[in-house]
Structure 1
Amino acid sequence: MANFSKSTVPQFSVDVYQNEFLPEGGRDVSAIVTVTSTGGGTTGRQPLTPAAGSAAGVVIMVDCSGSMDYPATKMRGAREATAAAVDTLHDGTSFAVVAGTHLAKEVYPGNGRLAVADARTRAEAKEALRRLSAGGGTAIGTWLRLADRLLSSADHLTIRHGVLLTDGRNEHESPEELRAALDACAGRFTCDARGVGTDWEVKEVTGIASALLGSADIVADPAGLAADFTAMMEQTMGKGVADVTLRLWTPVGVEIAYVKQVAPTVEDLTARRTEAGPRAGDYPTGSWGDESRDYHVSVRVPQAAIGQEMLAARVSLLAPDPLGGDPRPLSQGLVRAVWTDDLAMSTSINPQVAHYTGQAELADVIQQGLDARKSGDHDGATAKLGRAVQLAAASGNADTAKLLSKVVDVVDAATGTVRLKAKVAEADEMTLETRSTKTVRVKR
């Protein structure tokens, strides 16, 4: 096994929170699995190099379609933001910049390859950015495919990451073409996506980030792009291991209801399972640095008699072997089921499970409420967004509560009594929709 530097490869731990007790006839078992990695990535301006055990490659995709000139601050903000991101790259990081229109064009370094970040290449890249201009259409799938080719050109990379900025709708390719590009790139690199201004489609941008296990956000004012890109790149530079999978093994007779990431955002991983041997399946989690994430695992076990107990599931974290062998185990946790006739024990809801069930519902009702509002269903929108206000208040999700208050007038948060605002700024509505899946951690 390769000798990885401890300073760049996270150490993983898994903690399981559940009420394992079931009543007679009970079959549904839920658990929150908290995965924590520590000691990963790098700090400050320390170099991230192949010798350190974690070689990173980044491709920045900048929308250069004609709409980026309206207003001109968007194109200027995009150039400045990309320059700031380039400045944040650690020495030794492989990188490239792509200009995206209805075509994808290499801006720097060119010739189908990646540059290696140092003082000279950063300066050259920023000089190339000054020549970026707006013109043409938008075909995001072509940008992603070029990013994939560039990242694949360097076979030593362990961290492959994209950053995508767009200001408009993907009008020059079909939804099927974009989906095919996402399917082709999924599992090959992660990608953060940003929408600037208010003329882009939220579901397109969040769909890109979701498919490629990255983050999505809105930057309504182009002046905020540089700070956002710098923060994104700092997070990317902190990643120490890629392609971590959550493996779920279940005994005979156990059915998997779902597997969801529930913090820091809600992301349903159920359909992304790949089989990994008898009664085992892998769920992708992407790249990790110093961070903690929570996953909600729900399984259905066979009925059993009072006093019996069983292992309902085993959750393991695995990372690829750098030498191409079997995946390396990082940590694991166990989900149990115990049948009891003690009513208090079997009806108690674990606080972590209850909290994240509410956070998942919060994300759902925000989307449903905004969709109802757009379709003119004011009663449906009021009911769903009122429920969202109630859930946000109960869980202490202050950020989401603040975003909701820009779309509805809150009469009583505790009961979810609200009135739809007559006028809502487009940026406020898009911000709520884009950030609807962001959750707050349970207070332990």
Structure 2
Amino acid sequence: MSSSPTRPPQPGIRLHVDLDHDVRPHRNAKIEAHLRVDVDADGVPTDLPAVELAVIIAVDVAEANRAAVRHALPAALKALPDRISFAVLGSGPEPVLCYPRGGEEWAVADREQRRRAVFVTGSLPLHRDGPRPAGYAPWVARARTLLADRPLSVRHLVLITDGSSAARGTSRALADELDRCAGQFTCDVFAVGADWDPDPLLTLAERLHGSADFADGGLDRSITAAIQRLRRVHAPLLPIDVTVRPCVRQVSISEKAPRPHRLGGLPQPGRPIRWSFPTYQWEQGRRDYLLTLVADADGDPLETTLQFAMVSIGRHVHHPVVARWHLPESSPPQAAAGADSVRALNATGRMRGALRKGLVALEAHQRRAAEDWLGQAARLAARLGSDWVLEEIRTVADVEDAAAGRVRLRPVDARSLGPLILRAVSGPGSLPADAVLARPGPRCGACGTPAGGEARYCITCGEKLL
């Protein structure tokens, strides 16, 4: 692959903010805003120079599942670009550095290094009978230690797991280790086999700003694609800073697309009204975030436009979040288009959550709860036009009426649901540029009959519509 020795410090970034500008005043009032960030990398070299990347490939797999990595790992190593820094971890009582050897901790890819690495993977140590790492925390800790000595622009862990080192009661240890890893590197997780728990894999991907996927049939392509994606990164670290009015007591940001997860906010020392939310691996394209502010109206004027926050990305991109406290005794005006955008984001989150809960309930043999949750997911998918969700539901149920949320479960093997649960969280479904949920029309309060947007009386019972 060709690479360019120079890159602009930052691609073009545009920030757009949508919200309902009229808020009812009360304590703990919630102000939600849709942040749409567009990254334009025109004129920026296509690929990040490989010399700026450090990648660890960690193989957390039992000997019984060697076939899952026997051919995939050599193929992925052969596809490494020249000059990328890499290391390979194998399995044992603790994660073992298998390549490079001879006291070195990092190899720099060239034809000879790739050949040697492929040869070594033929005898890669995998889990056998006996002690194994207690969960995923040791793998993340070993990666953190290795990557600390490789201060490059992009540092990344590729963890391949069949769940064989997972252990009960280790979630606290993993959470503590992920706290120590925050901001140090990113991580993609690829699950193989059929005996793994999706929850810790999703935790790893969310906390380390990566993805969790099932890759049993194309592991080599998945690893290669992950590294190619790293080379498309134009801004390895880009914080979203939020400076708020003193009346704002809580600030949170969740990425909704392309990778749904909650961002960790860091208060700025000596600046209690400013929060920084680190984000990673910015490529050309669009990201959607939901900013939530919790504020009190005490002492603020009513019916006056106020700036509740300033959102900043990088040094030169800023956008205010403005709204006003609406008089509580008067009828609110027609909600602005920004409110539709926020509703669409929230509905997308509820849809993904319902899909995941339905699959988890089905995995636990709670069929009635599964049918209810999957029905909710189907109804929201029909409203949002998210066909991928309906396709996921159809793998386990017949969708009788998506708009009404009616599904009927089919017999399924609970062990096959892990990949579906991963996709429910990290699958497609980014918000279209003009995503707007249709406003519900009037509905009869007496008999519940829906009516058209201009109707004033129910055509079934004659009652005035609410």
Shorter chain as denominator, the TM-score bin is: 0.7 to 0.9
- In structure 2, what is the equivalent of residue 432 of structure 1? 420
Kept in 2: contact 1:58–1:160 (CA 8 A): yes
Q: CA 1:102/1:8 → structure 2, altered by over 3 Å: closer, same or farther? A: farther
| Structure 1 residues 99 and 402, CA gap change in structure 2 (3 angstroms) | same
Instruction: Give the C-alpha shift of residue 347 in structure 1.
Output: 6.9
- Judged with a 3 Å threshold, the aligned counterparts in structure 2 of structure 1 residues 205 and 311 are, in CA distance, closer, same or farther, namely same
Q: 1:207 to 1:23 in 2, by over 3 A?
A: closer
Task: Show the 5 A alignment for 1:168-187.
Answer: 168-171=163-166, 174-175=169-170, 176-187=172-183
The within-5 A match list for 1:349-428 is: 350-424=339-413, 426-427=415-416
Q: Aligned-pair distance for 1:266?
A: 2.0
Matched, 1:38 2:28: no
Q: Could you say which residue in structure 2 is the equivalent of 1:120?
A: 112
Is the CA contact (8 Å cut-off) linking 1:193 and 1:209 kept in structure 2? Answer: yes
The separation in 1 between residues aligned to 2:392 and 2:93, in whole angstroms, is 34
Question: What CA distance in whole angstroms lies between the structure 2 residues aligned with 1:154 and 1:115?
Answer: 11
Superposition deviation, residue 413 in structure 1: 0.1
CA distance in 2, matches of 1:95, 1:104: 16
Structure 1 residues 23 and 204, CA gap change in structure 2 (3 angstroms): closer
Q: Does the CA-based 8 Å contact 1:65-1:102 persist in structure 2?
A: no
Question: 1:325 aligns to what?
Answer: none
Which residue is equivalent to 2:459?
none
Give the AA of the match of 1:132: L
User: 1:109 maps to which residue?
Assistant: 100
What is the TM-score when the length of structure 2 is the normalising length? Answer: 0.81
Structure 1 residues 24 and 275, CA gap change in structure 2 (3 angstroms): closer
Q: 250-259 vs 382-391, which deviates more?
A: 250-259
Match of residue 441, structure 1, among 420, 431, 437: 431
Extract unaligned runs of 5+ from structure 1.
50-54, 319-328
1:223 paired residue number: 217
**1:246–1:316 contact (8 Å) kept in structure 2:** yes
Q: Which moved more, 1:416-425 or 1:224-233?
A: 416-425
Higher-helix-fraction structure? 1
Within 2, Cα distance between the matches of 1:230 and 1:114?
19
- Alignment check: 8 A CA contact 1:386 1:417 kept: yes
Listed one character per residue, the Cα deviations across residues 314-353 of structure 1 (whole Å, up to 9, x for unaligned) are 11124xxxxxxxxxx2522221103556744347663321
Instruction: Give the root-mean-square deviation of aligned CA atoms.
Output: 2.6
Tell me, in whole angstroms, the C-alpha distance in 1 between the residues paired with 2:244 and 2:387.
Answer: 37
Q: How does 1:180-329 map to 2 (within 5 A)?
A: 180-219=176-215, 222-256=216-250, 258-269=252-263, 272-276=264-268, 277-303=271-297, 304-318=300-314, 329=315
Does 1 or 2 have the higher relative contact order (CA < 8 Å, sep 6+)?
A: 1
Residues 13 and 89 of structure 1, relative CA distance in 2, 3 Å threshold: farther
Q: Do the aligned partners of 2:250 and 2:294 also contact (CA within 8 Å) in 1? A: yes
Which of residues 114, 122, 139 is equivalent to 1:143? 139
Report the CA distance shift for 1:257/1:368 in structure 2 as closer, same or farther (over 3 A). Answer: farther
> CA offset at residue 414 of structure 1?
0.2
Q: Distance in 2 between matches of 1:25 and 1:404?
A: 40
Query: Could you give the per-residue CA deviations for residues 390-415 of structure 1, whole angstroms, max 9, x where no partner exists?
Result: 11222122222211111221110001
Rounded Cα–Cα distance in structure 1 between residues aligned with 2:367 and 2:63: 36
1:159 counterpart = 2:161? no
Q: Deviations over 1:153-186 (max 9, x none)?
A: 223x121111000012434685133333323222
Amino acid at match of 2:110: D
Which one has a bigger Cα radius of gyration?
2
Q: Is 1:58 matched up with 2:61? A: no
Sort the Cα spacing of 1:172 and 1:18 in 2 relative to 1 into closer, same or farther, 3 A. closer
Would the aligned equivalents of 2:358 and 2:370 in 1 still touch at CA under 8 Å?
yes
SS in 2 for 1:436: helix
Aligned length: 413
> In percent, how many aligned pairs have the same letter?
26
* Offset at residue 9 of structure 1 (A): 4.2
CA contact (8 A) 2:60 2:165 kept: no
